[in-house]
Amino acid sequence: MNLGAHMSIAGGLPRALERGKAVGCSIVQLFLKNQVRWAGRPLTAEEAAEFTRVQAETGIRTVFAHATYLINLCAPDEKEWARSVDAFHDELLRAETLRLPFVIIHPGSHKGAGLDAGLERITAAIDDLHRRTQGLGVRIVLENAAGAGNLVGSRLEELRGILERVREPERLGFCLDTCHLFAAGYDIRTREGLAATLDAFDRLIGLDRLRAFHLNDAKKGLGSGLDRHEHIGQGQIGLEAFRALLNHPRVGGLPMSIETPKAEDWDQRNLATLRALRDSGGAGLSGRGSLPPSGRGARSGSGSSRGRSGGRRSGRS
Ligand SMILES: [Zn+2]
Ligand SMILES: [Zn+2]
C-alpha cells in the first residue's frame, strides 16, 4: 500500500516512523527539524543510523520530508531569499543523510513583487540548490499552492513556468495536494473533473514528474483560495475524488499522505476511509487492474539507493 500520514518528530526523527506504524501508515511524511525555527541541531550519525534501523523495523516503505514553513524561495528581499536557500540546502542534506528520496516545498510568496519576479526568484533558488546538491540522490519536489494572496504555484501554469525556466528540469519533482487544487479552483469532485485536472497536469508538466499526493478534503468551497484541510469525505470535495485518485491507473500507486487535523484516532479513521475506497465502486477512472501499485515500474528496487536514475527510493530495504 502507499497510504500514510504526516507524523510528528517530537522526541526525535525515528519517533515519527513509530507513530506512523501505530496508526497503520505504509508511508510517512515528516519535518526534518522543528518547522518554525530557522536553525536545527546538526543531525548526528547515531540519529541517522537509528532512523534507518527503525525504518527497517517498522517496515515503513517510503518516507519523505516536508520543508519548514519559514523558507520562501520566491522572496524578493535578497537577504530573506539567501537565508531561505541556505535553510533549504540544509534540509536537503539532512534528507540525503536519512536516505529520503525527496523534500516537498511550497514555492512561496512573491510578497507583491509580482508573479514574474516570483518565478525568477524561485528559478534562481532551484538552480543554485541543484548546483549545490550535484551528485546527491535527494530531489526537490514542488507542491501546488491553495492560491490566496501572493502565493506562487496555485495554477498549474505557474508550476510549469518554474519547470521550463530551471536549468535541470529533469531533477525537479511535483506533489499535488487535493485541498489546494480545490481551493485554487480545480473542480476535482467528480471522476470527470479529476481526470480533466490530471490531463491538464500531464499536458503542462507530465504525470511522470509527480512524486506524491497530499490527500486532504477541504473545509472551504471551490476556488476559496483558503488552505483549510478537512477529514476525508467530510469536506467540500467529498469521497469521489479520492476514490478516483486511489484507483487511477497511472498515479494511484504513488505515495499519498494525509495532512488532516490530528485529534483522537482520526489518522486511523481517515486512512481506513481511504483504504475502503481503493478497488471499490466499480472500475475506477478507466478500468483498473492493468498496473497494480506494487508492480509499477517506478520503483528503483531494493538495497542501495545510490545511483538510481529516477530519484525515487521507495524500494529501500
Ligand atoms: Zn499539502
Ligand atoms: Zn495545505
256 Cα: distance to centroid of ligand 2 (angstroms):
14
Ligand at shortest distance from the CA of 144: 1
Between residues 293 and 150, the one the model is more confident about: 150
Ligand at shortest distance from the CA of 29: 1
Question: Does the pLDDT value for residue 286 go beyond 60?
Answer: no
Report pLDDT for 284.
Answer: 41
Domains along the chain?
3-295 (3.20.20.150)
230 Cα: distance to centroid of ligand 2 (angstroms):
10
- Residues 85 and 95: their CA atoms lie apart, in Å, by 15
Report pLDDT for 34.
Answer: 84
259 Cα: distance to centroid of ligand 1 (angstroms):
7
The three three-digit cell numbers of residue 71, written as one number: 523558507
Report pLDDT for 40.
Answer: 84
46 Cα: distance to centroid of ligand 1 (angstroms):
30
The three three-digit cell numbers of residue 238, written as one number: 467529498
β partners of residue 218: 229
Question: Does the pLDDT value for residue 257 go beyond 50?
Answer: yes
139 Cα: distance to centroid of ligand 2 (angstroms):
21
- Residues 282 and 280: their CA atoms lie apart, in Å, by 6
pLDDT tens readout for residues 80-115: 999 999 999 999 999 999 999 999 999 999 999 999
Report pLDDT for 280.
Answer: 56
Report pLDDT for 225.
Answer: 96
CB atoms within 10 A of CB 56: 12
Question: Does the pLDDT value for residue 14 go beyond 90?
Answer: yes
- What are the start-end ranges of the H helices in the chain? 13-22, 45-58, 78-97, 115-132, 156-165, 178-183, 191-204, 239-246, 266-277
Of the candidates 125, 127, 44, the residue with the CA atom closest to the CA atom of residue 78: 125
Structural contact between residues 31 and 66, judged by C-beta atoms closer than 8 angstroms: yes
143 Cα: distance to centroid of ligand 1 (angstroms):
7
180 Cα: distance to centroid of ligand 2 (angstroms):
6
Ligand at shortest distance from the CA of 176: 1
Give pTM, 2 decimals.
0.88
Of the candidates 37, 126, 32, 34, the residue with the CA atom closest to the CA atom of residue 74: 126
CB atoms within 10 A of CB 59: 9
pLDDT tens readout for residues 183-208: 999 999 999 999 999 999 999 999 99
Ligand at shortest distance from the CA of 214: 1
79 Cα: distance to centroid of ligand 1 (angstroms):
27
Backbone φ and ψ of 229, nearest 5° = -80, 145
Question: Does the pLDDT value for residue 139 go beyond 70?
Answer: yes
CA angle in degrees (0–180, nearest 5) for 165-167-170: 100
The three three-digit cell numbers of residue 16, written as one number: 515519527
The three three-digit cell numbers of residue 288, written as one number: 483498473
Report pLDDT for 148.
Answer: 79
301 Cα: distance to centroid of ligand 2 (angstroms):
31
Question: Dihedral through CA 10, CA 50, CA 175, CA 290, nearest 10?
Answer: -130
Ligand at shortest distance from the CA of 257: 1
288 Cα: distance to centroid of ligand 2 (angstroms):
29
304 Cα: distance to centroid of ligand 2 (angstroms):
33
What average pLDDT does the segment 19-42 reach?
Answer: 92
Ligand at shortest distance from the CA of 229: 2
Ligand at shortest distance from the CA of 228: 2
Question: Does the pLDDT value for residue 285 go beyond 50?
Answer: no
231 Cα: distance to centroid of ligand 1 (angstroms):
13
Residue 110 C-alpha from the chain's centroid: 21
The three three-digit cell numbers of residue 301, written as one number: 528496487
Ligand at shortest distance from the CA of 5: 1
Ligand at shortest distance from the CA of 259: 1
DSSP string covering 212-269: EEEE-EESS-TT-----EE-TTSSSS-HHHHHHHHT-TTTTTS-EEE-----TTHHHH
